[in-house]
């Protein structure tokens, strides 16, 4: 099967780099998004997300004449769906006292519906959006059947999870191993051929539901392991231990690899995807459920740590450094750092946040500083929430000359406590109640 033209539905962090990469490898791509502003931005030759290397790749895709953006799909050899699958904002499920979040599949439904008028015999449809188990079979197949064509017989249908790391998406798209789950072996084979266009990592064929489970298992594994690290940070705090020291010692065991605690788990994937498994089978997922709860409540533990450092928070001025959900990205979705700021404000603190990757973000009730200097100038305390490289590189001596703050709280173990102390600061870290200051 030869793929000459594809439609990529959803042009966000996954869809746009994917579309750009296909275009760079000789395929004609129509990128589709329902957001008119995004389409206009792209058709002006600009991009709407921050991802290293993407601007250059996108500009050359446009210049090659192989990329265009539109609000509706058109006929193509293959359709890739990369639309969001968040959880529902106000609806919850419950089972035996567990209250859990529910997947919001509306974008997948409408993306699949948008393909129906253009689907032809011999096409391939690939769902890339992270989805609950059996979505491809139980949700997508019936929608595409409205075309009058039968999935697996008249056209190919596959699920292929995306596991790229924001910040390194363009490299990882090409180098990572990719799983392709077909609803038939022929569908998996068609997916294999499509992604062979550029994937240099291994491409492994399986069935669609296994591929869906693989993605959810990967992120759930991370979430559960971060939860235990976060729980250790709380225990260390209670027992006068420095969790960072304890973890580094425990990890000397050849078969132990404890992850880092932090202010919580955010982003569009790890804090969301485990809920898909809980929703699908709450009676089978108590560990996954409780891990989610631990990570979702970790911002409260950060607030406790700030209180330990500052006493009452009422009227205290805090400079919050970083609102992204992880280092060196501009993605603020589900960010635990933003949750920490809201909780501090709830306790009466006056918080100024500085997020270098998105200084103008509209963060619903959070005061965004235009620069670092503004955030720290009149602060009582500097609270580090994200391990951005540029924060890591800050010099305590220089900061001392720019701030009234005397107290540092590091929630990500990014800074050398001794360097800050020798520049006149008190230094606190989460999960460390051992050292004199912390």
Ligand X SMILES: NC(=O)c1ccc[n+]([C@@H]2O[C@H](COP(=O)([O-])OP(=O)(O)OC[C@H]3O[C@@H](n4cnc5c(N)ncnc54)[C@H](O)[C@@H]3O)[C@@H](O)[C@H]2O)c1
Q: Which residues are catalytic?
A: 215, 269
Q: Is 1 in the site for ligand X (CB under 6 A)?
A: no
Q: Give the number of residues in contact with ligand X, rule: CB under 6 A.
A: 29
**Cβ at position 329, least distance to ligand X in Å:** 9
Residues 6+ away with beta carbon under 8 Å from 249: none
Q: Is 246 in the site for ligand X (CB under 6 A)?
A: no
Fill in the DSSP letter of residue 81: E
- Residue 120 CA to residue 105 CA, distance in Å, equals 24
CA 170 to chain CA centroid, Å, is: 16
Q: Is 13 in the site for ligand X (CB under 6 A)?
A: yes
Cβ-based nearer residue to ligand X, 275 or 420: 275
DSSP letters for 206-220: EEHHHHHHHHHHHHH
Binding segment (CB under 6 A) for ligand X, from list 8-16, 135-143, 222-230, 364-372: 8-16
Cβ-based nearer residue to ligand X, 178 or 234: 178
**Cβ at position 348, least distance to ligand X in Å:** 34
- Residue 382 CA to residue 363 CA, distance in Å, equals 19
Contact pattern for ligand X over residues 155 through 194, marking x by CB under 6 A: -------xxx-x----------------------------
Strand partners, 297: none
Query: Rg of the chain's alpha carbons, rounded to an integer?
Result: 24
Cβ-based nearer residue to ligand X, 166 or 417: 166
Cβ-based nearer residue to ligand X, 11 or 224: 11
Name the residue with the smallest CB distance to ligand X. 12
**Cβ at position 402, least distance to ligand X in Å:** 34
Q: Is 337 in the site for ligand X (CB under 6 A)?
A: no
**Cβ at position 114, least distance to ligand X in Å:** 6
Give the one residue of 6, 78, 82, 124 binding ligand X; rule: CB under 6 A: 82
| 400, 426 contact by CB (below 8 A) | no
Q: Is 12 in the site for ligand X (CB under 6 A)?
A: yes
Cβ-based nearer residue to ligand X, 242 or 296: 296
Phi-psi region of 322 (alpha: psi -120 to 50; beta: other; left: phi over 0): left
Strand partners, 353: 320, 368
Fill in the DSSP letter of residue 261: -
**Cβ at position 311, least distance to ligand X in Å:** 39
> Is the four-CA dihedral 28, 107, 199, 118 of positive or negative sign?
negative
Cβ-based nearer residue to ligand X, 107 or 303: 107
Cβ-based nearer residue to ligand X, 166 or 182: 166
Cβ-based nearer residue to ligand X, 35 or 404: 35
**Cβ at position 111, least distance to ligand X in Å:** 4
In 3D space, the residue among 44, 43, 33, 26 whose CA is nearest the CA of residue 9 turns out to be 33
| 130, 269 contact by CB (below 8 A) | yes
Cβ-based nearer residue to ligand X, 38 or 351: 38
**Cβ at position 13, least distance to ligand X in Å:** 4
Residue 115 tokens, joined: 């393909």
Residues 6+ away with beta carbon under 8 Å from 301: 230, 233, 234, 237, 430
How close are the terminal C-alpha atoms of the chain, in Å? 62
Q: Is 269 in the site for ligand X (CB under 6 A)?
A: yes
- Residue 421 CA to residue 423 CA, distance in Å, equals 5
**Cβ at position 414, least distance to ligand X in Å:** 22
Give the one residue of 21, 30, 85, 298 binding ligand X; rule: CB under 6 A: 85
Give the one residue of 31, 57, 84, 322 binding ligand X; rule: CB under 6 A: 84
Q: Tell me how far CA of residue 23 lies from CA of 27, 31, 53, 194, in angstroms.
A: 5, 10, 15, 12
Give the one residue of 101, 178, 234, 268 binding ligand X; rule: CB under 6 A: 268
Give the one residue of 4, 26, 35, 397 binding ligand X; rule: CB under 6 A: 35
Fill in the DSSP letter of residue 328: T
- Residue 333 CA to residue 330 CA, distance in Å, equals 9
- Residue 268 CA to residue 245 CA, distance in Å, equals 30
**Cβ at position 128, least distance to ligand X in Å:** 6
- Residue 126 CA to residue 48 CA, distance in Å, equals 24
Q: Is 9 in the site for ligand X (CB under 6 A)?
A: yes
Binding positions for ligand X, 107-166, rule CB under 6 A? 107, 110-111, 114, 128-130, 162-164, 166
Write out the residues near ligand X by the rule CB under 6 A: 9-15, 32-35, 38, 82-85, 107, 110-111, 114, 128-130, 162-164, 166, 268-269
């Amino acid at each position: 099967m030869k793929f000459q033209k594809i439609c990529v539905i959803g042009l966000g962090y996954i869809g746009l780099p994917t579309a750009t990469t296909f275009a760079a490898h000789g395929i004609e791509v129509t990128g589709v998004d329902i957001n008119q502003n995004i389409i206009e931005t792209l058709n002006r030759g600009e991009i709407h997300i921050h991802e290293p290397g993407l601007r250059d790749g996108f500009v050359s895709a446009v210049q090659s004449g192989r990329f265009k953006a539109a609000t509706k799909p058109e006929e193509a050899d293959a359709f890739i769906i990369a639309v969001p699958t968040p959880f529902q904002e106000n609806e919850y499920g419950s089972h035996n006292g567990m209250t859990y979040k529910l997947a919001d599949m509306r974008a997948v439904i409408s993306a699949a519906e948008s393909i129906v008028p253009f689907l032809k015999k011999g096409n391939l449809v690939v769902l890339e959006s992270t989805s609950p188990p059996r979505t491809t079979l139980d949700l997508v197949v019936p929608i595409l059947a409205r075309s009058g064509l039968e999935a697996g017989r008249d056209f190919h249908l596959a699920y292929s999870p995306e596991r790229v790391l924001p910040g390194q998406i363009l490299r990882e798209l090409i180098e990572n191993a990719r799983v392709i789950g077909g609803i038939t072996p022929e569908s998996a084979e068609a997916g294999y051929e499509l992604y062979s266009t550029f994937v240099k990592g291994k491409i492994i064929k399986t069935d669609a539901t296994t591929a869906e489970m693989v993605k959810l298992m990967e992120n759930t594994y991370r979430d559960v392991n971060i939860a235990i690290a976060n729980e250790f940070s709380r225990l260390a705090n209670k027992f006068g231990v420095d969790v960072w020291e304890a973890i580094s010692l425990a990890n000397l065991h050849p078969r132990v690899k404890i992850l880092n605690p932090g202010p919580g788990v955010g982003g569009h994937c790890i804090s969301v995807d485990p809920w898909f498994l809980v929703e699908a089978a709450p009676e089978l997922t108590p560990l996954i459920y409780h891990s989610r709860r631990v990570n979702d409540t970790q911002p409260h533990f950060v607030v406790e740590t700030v209180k330990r450092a500052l006493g009452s928070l009422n009227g205290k001025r805090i400079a919050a450094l970083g609102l992204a959900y992880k280092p060196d990205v501009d993605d603020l979705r589900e960010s635990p750092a933003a949750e920490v700021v809201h909780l501090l404000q709830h306790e009466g603190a006056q918080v100024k946040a500085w997020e270098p990757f998105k200084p103008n973000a509209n963060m619903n009730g959070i005061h965004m500083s235009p620069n670092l200097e503004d955030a720290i100038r009149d602060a009582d305390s500097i609270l580090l929430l994200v391990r951005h490289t540029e924060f890591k590189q800050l010099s305590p001596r220089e900061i001392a000359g720019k701030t009234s703050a005397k107290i540092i709280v590091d929630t990500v173990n990014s800074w050398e406590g001794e360097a800050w102390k020798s520049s006149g600061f008190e230094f606190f870290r989460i999960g460390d109640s051992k050292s004199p200051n912390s």
